Structure 1
Amino acid sequence: MSVEKSVDLETLALTDGSEATISSNADVSQAPTEATSASDALVNSSEIEKYRSIQLFNLLNPSNKFKYKSQLQSDYLSQHYDDLVYDENITVKLISWNLNQLTNPNPVDFKRMLELQDLTFAEVYIFNFQETVSLKSISKSETLIKQWCDYIIELLPTDKNYRVIFQTGVLGLTTIIITSEKYSSQITDIKTKKVGLGYFNWYNKGCIEVRFRLGKIDDVKLKGIEIQILNMHLVHGEDSSVVGMRKSSLQKIEDSFGLVRRDVNLVSNDDPDTEKSEPESVVVTPYALSGDELQNAVKKGIDLDEIYSRNLDKSLIVVSGDMNYRTADISRKDLFKLLEYSDFKTLLEYDQLSALTNQHELFIGFLEGPIDFRPTFKLKNLNTYNGLRLPSYTDRIFYTPFDGLKQITYESYEIAGSDHLPVLSEFELSFKAVNHEKLVIFNNEFQSYFDRDINALELLEMEPKAVTMDIVVGLEEVINIRMRNLCNELLTFKVLENDKKLFRKSEFSILNQSPNNTNELPPREIKTLKFQVKASKPGLIAKAYTVRLENFPTMINFISFTLTSKTVIGVPLALLTDLQFDNFNRSFEFLLTASKVNLVSRLKEIEHESSLVNLEKLILRDVTLGEVDLNLLTKLNNIGMVTNEASVALMNVIYLWLKHIPGDFDFSSHERGRKVFSHLMKLIQYLDIDEAKEFEYFGFLFQDETEFRESLESHFYNTNV
């Protein structure tokens, strides 16, 4: 640590070009090094370093260690994939139902609807409801959605501890996801969006999208299965013109949400030159490594392609809802005849949606199970259709093909209360379930290795980190902190004052900080931060700064200052230390033997510490904190550019001190006072200036000129007796 002085007494005094050493009162120490994390013990270095991600990590520059941490951690987990996952098969049941504001269906019937084909219950339930409230409402009903959640949970068996993991709604649309406790942790990252499809984009018709991940390990390579659920209610009407409106609505849904599968569409693309993009098995995402990093990786034999590659997201889309496509181009009589014989296959030839999907205009790449049930709309009661509408398959379920997904059932269910029948589908889904206990272990292994490596990094050297020293009240002190970049990368950093008080001016400032407080330190270079401090009163000053590396956010350094500000100005003689008082005694004696030239040339300018020039400030520092080197001042008198420069400076410091001696002090009442008075009288006589100047310069120490003259005469008389 160095204390910067505008004028260095030692340099001024040297005549032979050599350097001397001035004793310093500064006690500068290095802050203790933080203890290494105890988690290091978790990692067996020889074992973990055999993995390619760790090998590459060890070759990276510090910034890339931070930048690619998540990718490398994902690759580390991928090499433990077989230990992290286990094969699991679950049954998912989707129920889509236009409730027509039904709030209390028969619980016996509803519970039977929840049962699987084998009379057990699914692990996951997805409920897509339409018209939960009237389409004339202005908003959804949170209360009603909660009632439905409670109602369903009440009907499910208690042994699987079912829980609602997601619920949402917009006007009449409601989506609820319920899972057994065992699989609730396998579903993560649930997100939702909504779009209005009615007139002026109103939500009387619309779509809810819900996305979540099943069996996710991380956000890079091991994302699990992304599942997209679309709950839609399209525009109603039997007129053929409405078919085009529904197509536009489907296009709007796809444009608003996007699809997690790139090889499917809700609506056909009319551009014949557009090719369907097929999903790939691997996507290459190379890191932006330096030439040295790449070269070292090749030398080490690290398979970068394996590290770069990631499995493409596995994805599945399920679409259901009241799509409002109708039966067309068949007479009511012929339609009911087909219903009489349960000839649903023939009836579907008149279904608008089936025709459009067969022509690959809608739901391209999607599957729909065989429809072997009667039309779901529009019912007057369970036994009778509404006489004004042709019975239609308005309620449907589509899904994308997926390796591991099998549709077990696709049916409607006979339950009273709405003008629609619900449609149901059971799916058996095979996936890789996550062993979360092992995931924690492997994540901790990587994190522990990362922490140990980062804690051992030497990026920035600061000297000193802790400063303890004495300073003088009223004088600016500049403290230099040497900062050295130890790495081969540019470091950008900010220096932030800790516990900064609002509306209170700090004693500290940084003289060479960049305007926006973002400093740069090139590789292997040194920068000196200059902290300036000026104390306004005696006492302890404690201040700390945080040095935050912007490109290494977890790397934080601290600078602490513990300063004791001292003064001799305005201090009663009795409270001066022996050394301080002796400094004044010797200074008086020095002046009585020095040249008189210019000694009083600046006295009228001296009012407070800021009145002093640099040499005078250095002398005041020595008087206050150390010992005045009178031999050094003698040398300065001989070599200074100004005649008698050092004696003039010393005279001005003594004069400042005399001007601020407490006004009620009686020189005759204290031994120190009598000694100072004697020195002063001798000095006035030695200066040999006219009487008017004598009183002008020193009269402030007396009540009036009479007392001043009497004191001089008394001292002259006693000295000569």
Structure 2
Amino acid sequence: MAAEDLQKPIESSARKLSIHVVTWNVASAAPPPDLNDLLQQNNQNLNLDIYIIGLQEMNCGIMSLLSDTAFEDPWSSFFMDVLSPLSFIKVSCVRMQGLLLLVFAKLQHLPFIQILSTKSTPTGLFGYWGNKGGVNICLKLYGYYVSIINCHLPPHLANNDQRLEHFDRILEMQNFEGQDIPNILDHDLILWFGDMNFRIEDFGLHFVRESIKSRRYSDLWEKDQLVITKRRDLLLREFQEGPLLFPPTYKFDRNSDNYDTSEKKRKPAWTDRILWRLKRQPQAGPHPSKLLDPHFCLSLRSYVSHMMYSISDHKPVTGTFDLELKSLMSAPLITLIPEGLWTMEDDMLISYSLTPDFLSSPWDWIGLYKVGLRHINDYVSYVWVRDNHVSYSDGLNQVYINTRDVPETEDQFLLCYYSNSLHSVVGISKAFQIRPHSFFGADSLGKSQPQF
């Protein structure tokens, strides 16, 4: 991460964010060595701001789950290793058995992203088992409510009604009772994706395969269950989708580009989908509502499958979006200022100011990080702001942070203020260097380590 990236102004009210959404049923496979195409890292025309990654059917055997509880799962670690050198930080994640949802954002956006809620909704075994269902991350992005849902719906051609029941159940469970969060249908944006398992009706296997071979995908659209269902389901109709201009993504023989050659010879289908819904805006006159908000507009740049990956019987699908919005936040809630020339010889003085509407918590903390952090727990040192408060004047607070764990290095550092009540980073300093020096250990901090 270049230091100049941290100096870019982020307070401009009008902005355009580029969001890359990934959905992939990985069928218990480990990450492949190269995911550049999936993450669009070879596309020089993209300047991405946010990655949203949803996986289904991760390895959820008992030993794997126990290991992933104690350590990062292999997929999360892989994505962090790849994205952190590009200035992306893991903002939030939620897992339910084989379902995993990850959100990464460029560092400069972190003070404008508040994680409001993470939820899991199991729908397998009458709602008691998480092999099917959905996981959700609800956040505020520059002041706008955004809900992100990764789902895995029931399989098989005959179970379309069951898929719709699960779709409705996942949506109904995204309530926020006792929290100052609007109903999910009043959120500015819902991104809903995953292995939805919708199939192609009526057409025989030979016709479907010949249509795919000759790239006549439009011949198959009219019998796609999701397309059919959207015509009669009023709520589902409000969700938009890009054109299916790529081959059906299921079912393939593993380690090949051949559709199912087993005895079952399953009919190919577009099981892996990315949908979105914008909040309807009130409008006077004969039409009661409209979809477009001039201050919050989402447009689809690309909707493609990535056929080069063969570790699973599904091919991954990605959607890249441009989100144009007028920011409802004029500045970060916290402004952090490292004071003076920092060395590893003395405790370091940090000054910070709060906006009038920010309520601090006894569990708020400031972390010291090397530039290139993977997630918020990557601090090299930290300080509890209430316990270590030393002065206050003219709206400026000051705390000292100990230098015991600061490595002797020429790397650059930065400070992040973490709000426990908002579950989010609310302030980031500019990058700076710490002059190497020999130093001695400091007293231990009184509280347990902060957790994200």
TM normalised by structure 1 equals 0.39
Task: Find the partner of 1:252 among 135, 151, 169.
Answer: 169
Shift of 1:120: 3.8
Superposed CA deviations along residues 343-399 of structure 1, whole A, max 9, x for unmatched, are 111111121111101233561311111110000101104420113200001111110
Name the counterpart of 2:21: 94
Name the counterpart of 2:323: 429
Contact 1:115 1:121 in 2 (8 A): no
Name the counterpart of 2:59: 133
Whole-Å separation in 1 of the counterparts to 2:356 and 2:163: 53
Relative to structure 1, the CA distance from residue 139 to residue 251 in structure 2 (aligned partners, 3 Å threshold; closer, same or farther) is farther
Whole-Å separation in 2 of the counterparts to 1:123 and 1:97: 20
Which amino acid in 1 is paired with 2:237? I
Name the counterpart of 1:397: 274
Name the counterpart of 1:486: none
Name the counterpart of 2:76: 149
Shift of 1:411: 1.0
Whole-Å separation in 2 of the counterparts to 1:446 and 1:255: 32
User: Does residue 113 of structure 1 match 2:30?
Assistant: no
Relative to structure 1, the CA distance from residue 134 to residue 328 in structure 2 (aligned partners, 3 Å threshold; closer, same or farther) is farther
Name the counterpart of 2:105: 179
Task: Find the partner of 1:344 among 205, 209, 217.
Answer: 217
User: Does residue 383 of structure 1 match 2:272?
Assistant: no
Whole-Å separation in 1 of the counterparts to 2:125 and 2:166: 11
Shift of 1:429: 0.9
Relative to structure 1, the CA distance from residue 144 to residue 332 in structure 2 (aligned partners, 3 Å threshold; closer, same or farther) is farther
Task: Find the partner of 1:236 among 132, 136, 155.
Answer: 155
Relative to structure 1, the CA distance from residue 137 to residue 199 in structure 2 (aligned partners, 3 Å threshold; closer, same or farther) is farther
In the TM superposition, what are the counterparts of 1:366-377 in structure 2 within 5 Å? 366-377=239-250
Which amino acid in 1 is paired with 2:162? M
Shift of 1:317: 0.3
Contact 1:261 1:317 in 2 (8 A): no
Superposed CA deviations along residues 104-160 of structure 1, whole A, max 9, x for unmatched, are 2131xx1122116545451110101000124898958336754222211322372x4
Displaced runs of 4+ in structure 1, greater than 6 A? Answer: 135-138, 259-263, 438-443
Which amino acid in 1 is paired with 2:133? G
Whole-Å separation in 1 of the counterparts to 2:48 and 2:101: 17
Aligned partner of residue 131 in structure 2, secondary structure: coil
Whole-Å separation in 2 of the counterparts to 1:233 and 1:437: 36
Task: Find the partner of 2:135 among 198, 208, 211.
Answer: 208
Which amino acid in 2 is paired with 1:332? L
Superposed CA deviations along residues 548-567 of structure 1, whole A, max 9, x for unmatched, are xxxxxxxxxxxxxxxxxxxx
Aligned partner of residue 37 in structure 2, secondary structure: helix
Structure 1: gaps (5+ residues): 1-82, 216-223, 265-312, 448-721
Which amino acid in 1 is paired with 2:76? C
Relative to structure 1, the CA distance from residue 262 to residue 243 in structure 2 (aligned partners, 3 Å threshold; closer, same or farther) is same
Whole-Å separation in 2 of the counterparts to 1:209 and 1:194: 6
Shift of 1:85: 5.1
Larger Rg: 1
Name the counterpart of 1:407: 300
Task: Find the partner of 1:418 among 312, 323, 330.
Answer: 312
Whole-Å separation in 2 of the counterparts to 1:135 and 1:246: 25
Name the counterpart of 2:416: none
Contact 2:147 2:184 in 1 (8 A): no
Which amino acid in 1 is paired with 2:80? I
Which amino acid in 2 is paired with 1:416? S
TM normalised by structure 2 equals 0.61
Contact 1:94 1:424 in 2 (8 A): yes
Contact 1:167 1:175 in 2 (8 A): yes
> Quick one: percent identity of the two aligned structures?
23
Which amino acid in 1 is paired with 2:306? Y
Aligned partner of residue 174 in structure 1, secondary structure: strand
Relative to structure 1, the CA distance from residue 144 to residue 325 in structure 2 (aligned partners, 3 Å threshold; closer, same or farther) is farther
Name the counterpart of 2:410: none
Which amino acid in 2 is paired with 1:429? L
Shift of 1:102: 1.4
Whole-Å separation in 2 of the counterparts to 1:353 and 1:438: 43
Whole-Å separation in 2 of the counterparts to 1:84 and 1:442: 16
User: Does residue 360 of structure 1 match 2:254?
Assistant: no
Which structure's residues are more often helix, by fraction?
1
For the aligned residues, what is the CA RMSD? Answer: 2.9
Relative to structure 1, the CA distance from residue 432 to residue 392 in structure 2 (aligned partners, 3 Å threshold; closer, same or farther) is same
Whole-Å separation in 2 of the counterparts to 1:438 and 1:200: 44
Aligned partner of residue 188 in structure 1, secondary structure: strand
Whole-Å separation in 2 of the counterparts to 1:185 and 1:212: 12
Contact 2:147 2:190 in 1 (8 A): yes
Name the counterpart of 2:404: none
Whole-Å separation in 2 of the counterparts to 1:422 and 1:350: 22
Aligned partner of residue 114 in structure 1, secondary structure: coil
Relative to structure 1, the CA distance from residue 137 to residue 343 in structure 2 (aligned partners, 3 Å threshold; closer, same or farther) is farther
Higher relative contact order (CA 8 A, sep 6+): 2
Structure 2: gaps (5+ residues): 1-9, 279-291, 336-351, 359-452
Contact 1:232 1:322 in 2 (8 A): yes
Aligned partner of residue 188 in structure 2, secondary structure: strand
Whole-Å separation in 2 of the counterparts to 1:183 and 1:324: 34
